[in-house]
Structure 1
Amino acid sequence: MKLFYKKTLIVIFTLLLITSYFSIYINGFNYKLDKKLKSKLQINHQDQVIKRDFFEINNFNTEKSSYRYQIQKLAQVDTGHGAMNDVFVQGELAFSTNAGGGLIIFNITDFTNPVIIGQYDDDHEISEENLWLTESAYTDGISVRGEVAYLADGFNGLVILNVSIPTQPVKIGHYLNEYINVQNIFVQEDFLYYRGTDKVYILNINNPSQPFLAGVIDYSYIPTMDIRDFYVQGDYAFLCAHDFIIIDISDSTNPIEIARLENATGVKLTIADDFAYLLSNERLEIINISNVYSPYSISLLSLPEITYFIQSICISNTTVYVAGYSEIISIDVTNKSAPVKNGLLANLGYSWKKLSVQSNTLDEQQNPEIVFCADYNQGFLTINFSNPADPVLLSVTDMGTKAAAVFVDEQYVYLCTRHASPWRPTIFEIISWTETSVPKLIGSYQVNKSISDVYVKEDIAYLSTYGDGLEILNLSNPSEPKKIMSYDYGSDWGYKLYFDDTRDLVVLANLGAGYAIIDVSTPTNPILLSEGNPWFMHVSNVFIDGDILFLTDSQYYGGFGIIDISNPSSPQPISSTGLSESVFSITIKDRLAYLSTDVTPLYIYDVSNLSKPQKLGRCYTGWWFPGHSLCVNNSVAYVARDVNGLLAIDVSNPRKPKLLATYRDNYAGLSFDVDVYNNYIFLADGWDGLEILELVPPVISRQQLLLFSILPSMSGGVLVAVIVILQLIKKKEEEDPK
């Protein structure tokens, strides 16, 4: 009997320990929740599950918070469709593909005023595992046959749409070849062809809703093979690579090379009748292909007018159109043996260009030759080449800009949005956010430079611009910003800036040119006080804390430097610290330095001893992307990390920063800059525009609250039971001493 009681006692004590543990854990949880989360953050107390606009934290090589935070979208200002990649014209419609925007359909009845009438953007999975795929999943090519459009959607594969109602494109098919970037598609009858580096894939699209792989033109066995372009006509595929190659594709399952013209090197290609037009970066070569088994070159035409690289070629009747980086040339090929350049439209801005030609009728008296151009930077261009000697640019349809830099005060969001590279004119926008859920555009100012950073003080905006120093604007009337002046002090760059409020100093990070300190106490008369680069850094960002200037180095083995600027005209270097990573952003708070690199989202250093900073901790996720911007608010660091999105990191314990949440709600989003004001997060999110966000702490459900209240009571109940049982055992032993 005594053995029974002893076993019972052991079990009861075990239960007591378990319930006590849960009680302590839950009380600790509630205490931490009260201590850490009772801030100005708005907590959603609804019992229902919140619909989240983020993806879960998983598979990270880092210490994570035990709480499940959320980053929730409150409002968005979308600033653009995306950079144009390709265009295809059919009748009165132009179909364009856009980086960060899928398919755009224009009505081009009026060439001088194309109108967007339809749009389609395929869903792209967003997860930590496929970030590099999502980054490259921009729609690259387009082909349309009748009522069906075929989109080369990068790593998202081939997307097939019914466009019989152009205002409402409907997806009817999808083909995905894992890890193959679908680009440069060509459609002929029941087959679609698309290019890889050393292969051309052949799909059977007899049933557009169920495409399948029918064959492959495979040159992967040649290590140096690079298929740059291709064209299909009849039973033959024509490839331009180091040589001009002809493939018999009459049997799609067994393509066979039948001819090769050696050293006919090209980057772009088109075919018309019995002739191939092959473009290199220096010339146009015309090849006779009337006998596909024996092609031969019949003429060469030098193209010195082309700047940088050949971008595109197309042909209409007897005119070939060639696009360079900033020009379009028309070439009369009536005489194939002696082609003649007969028109040039220059100064179109430096950017990638794709051409399409469609003869249309403006009225009964005219039959103009219209060239349509997808310009990666400027948008959708229409050009009249009816008179080749005097081509006329009819229209430019701007496809919008991507949000790149943001600054916030109590009333306005100051947003810098710029066009795609390489030539990036910027729009500076002033947006009222007094009604958080309905931000309103108040005014804007276009700068024909690329703005990289912004700061506003007392109705004066200071803008750093790539290669052009400082731009200063008067915002006293926010609906009509006025330029005060441009200050170009001779440096090559104006990459990032920091504004010292106490002394009215602007410090510019100038990449390889180092840093510059400018006195702007009189905005109409900036004065360069000093510049330098004591450690030969690639200065990517700057921050001032009192009399101390901090620099970040984005070189491959970068780090950060510390300089005494108590006399800004004579800065004195103090120390430099190497991280062996490219450092892109920095902020200082309470003698702690927070840094973000291309490898690690967050480092924390103690800089109390300026001569010898000490590393305290880091948050490492395993994903390598540049941390363009970071800020710290209420013990949370926010890092804008390009395609990796926005990261929120708990820094309440600098030695053990913990990842709270990540946010990327659309594959077009590229997080470039972040600012926080009154616990609202403002994210410059690339082609996804400006987003106003909020960090939402965990929500405790009724079930959890019930459990929290029951377990401590259970602990007390078990204790009472133990006492009663002990008394019974004692009484039993007194009655039965044996």
Structure 2
Amino acid sequence: MNISIKLGDLNSGESFFQIKNKQARKKISITLMLSIAASLSFFLPTIVVSNELSESEAIFNWVEKDYFQYFSPAGKESFHASDYFVRYYNESDTYIGTKDGQLYVYGAVFDGLLPLGSISQWLPLATESTSIGKENTIDLIGILKTENIPNDMQIVGNYAYLTFDSGSKALLVVDISTPASPTIIGSVSSIVSGNAFGGGTSSSGFDSIQVEGDVAYVTAGNTLYTIDISTPSLPTIKDKRFSGNTFNYDSRVLRSGKYVYVPDGRDGVKIIDISIPEAPILVNTLVNTVNEFDASAIFIKDSYAYIVNPYGELQIADISSPEFASIIGSADLGAALSPGRLPTISVKGNYAYVTNEVSLNTFDISSPSSPIYVNTNFGLGTFVDINIAGNYAYVASNSTGIQVLNISDPNSPKVVIPNALSARYTSSIEIVNNYAYAMSKKGLDIYRLNTLTMEPANVGFINTPGNAVDIAVSGNYAYVADGREGLQIIDITTPSNPIIKNTVNTLGIATVVKVIGNYAYVVNDASDLHIINISQPESPIIVAELGSLSNSERSSSIDITVADNYVYLVNSNEMIIIDVGIITAPVVVRTLSDSDYIKVSIVENYAYAIDYSESILDIIDISIPGSAEVVGRLKMEREHILSRASEIFVKENYAYITASLPMSKEENAGYGMAVIDIRSASHPIFFKYIRGVGGLLPAVNMDVENIHIDGDYAYTAGGFRGIGILDISTPESPLNVGTVAITENLGGSDRENAHDVTIQGEYAYVASGRGVRVVALP
């Protein structure tokens, strides 16, 4: 297919793949991409979508924003080439295009051309990418290339165990303690028929693996091996093994207690006692007495084994006494599975989730003796494995990589990630903490799960009379700055039933509250400070008031921090330092008017304050508060780091500053966070910029109003998009954990905004404007 077009940025006479800025681009011909796409489209269903060009643009814009690591720089123009609509990104050397209602990407990172399914399947994520639950991403961070395609995998602690049925190695032990750099540390060579360990085996490698403690159990043809992995770098096959004509090639071993369960096709499920690892004993075989069961996959939970076959049948066995285990219930999957397609299964709560090559099928197993088929969800590729974590099902596909479904409502699973853009072929998947470990054609791929948005987990709410904008929690009470209604004191002894116990009139509009010991410090929009004795929360007493602190106009951008008997107050104009050593007689000891400060964070002898209008970070020496002076400054807007800084927190050697309008050197517009190296107080240095995608901030397009630090996590309050959760256990590399919605109905007059959040125990307490929302943390 010969294609030529004319574009304004092409030199005269050049075809479109001869790009003007040749030094910045590789000469990759999009003609090849389109030719391949044209041949592939013959096999793909054609879906006609109205307004296809505008919908394509919407998808392109969304992809370059949320997947900027694969499509950069953003803002490239789209163009027509024959029947295709295409956008090219020279820095990442990647393409995205549509034709006949189908979406494609192309580039080395995708192993060439990667069909992504229909426009209609992607459009909802593109058009609603700023809604709760739509900012989900999976980032490929680590790759381990292996000699052959892995056959099975298990993740235990800091190690991944991979089996291979061909090649020089039958087992690899991989150190994954640093997910971005997986490293092979141990191996077992492939078994050759007739050698010391190979007698009678029909395979040169291993099929399935199950790790328990210091022992790995692997199947290989007709043999079950036990391997000593007490020293992961020196895995050793034990002297004895269970062998005989018992296992099919596709057997997948699963251990529960002192028993191993191996689905063995038409021979049912073998139950083997491994209490003596060197001398396993076959104690039972589960066989369907009515039909040839052809057991293909098994999942064990509590006292039940859930078994599926490729012929449309789910069976449940009571294994409370493995030697006498028996099948007690079954369900006909009907057309949900097609004969000959090997299924996989996972169980959560009262539901079993069964995949085959084309669908995810849900079954109600609340009554094990009478399982019931619920529904079928068809995916975009061929499903070959499933793993469940929390409210999400991670499905491996050998055609489109990893797909993620929200199964919080088992009756209506919803696709939240149609497929990971960086994934192509995935044959098995395991989820551990915030990482997905996937077997691919190349070996082991490790993904970071950035933005798995949590479903609302509201446990309590109380409507306050004013506008709840700030909150502090101490013991069994929450203290709320409630606008014109002053300070509300709320009993949260029962989180599901918060009760207002008292109100303190603070005059003006109460904007900020902090609680230290027996005192609440409340500031209103006129920067007046009120100190309230809350030793008896139901009978609070104002013990001091300090007014006329600022000559500026009233401000809603006020923040205070209390440290070592001093209050540090910022109000969009200055920083006011107040000595509260004598609680009933507070006195101003210093005022700094160097910048229009809006937020301040105190760590030891330094105050870290940010200016909103000019995006300045000032580091202030407060070792002598009355003589506080700016010792370090970073002009972030001038340095093109960010503009309109909105919030700051400090941990160890880094300051984290959120922005409502970043100006990152990556030139990707959007919301996010700058990480500043503050090891030298006099010379703060820009370290890196983190895009505000998904769970890092509650949403992409909004300001963060407040941040609360609790241990290794930072919780951001971000308006109607809820709470963002950031793992800061490694300060230089913060990780997205997710977001928590504070309401299910985000529209109309019922909409709530997370203005402030504080954490106590397993609950987040949110000042939501309308009142206080208590949310159970995931």
Assess same fold via TM > 0.5.
Answer: no
TM-score (norm. length: structure 1): 0.42
Question: Comparing both chains, which one has the higher relative contact order based on Cα–Cα distances under 8 Å and sequence gaps of 6 or more?
Answer: 1
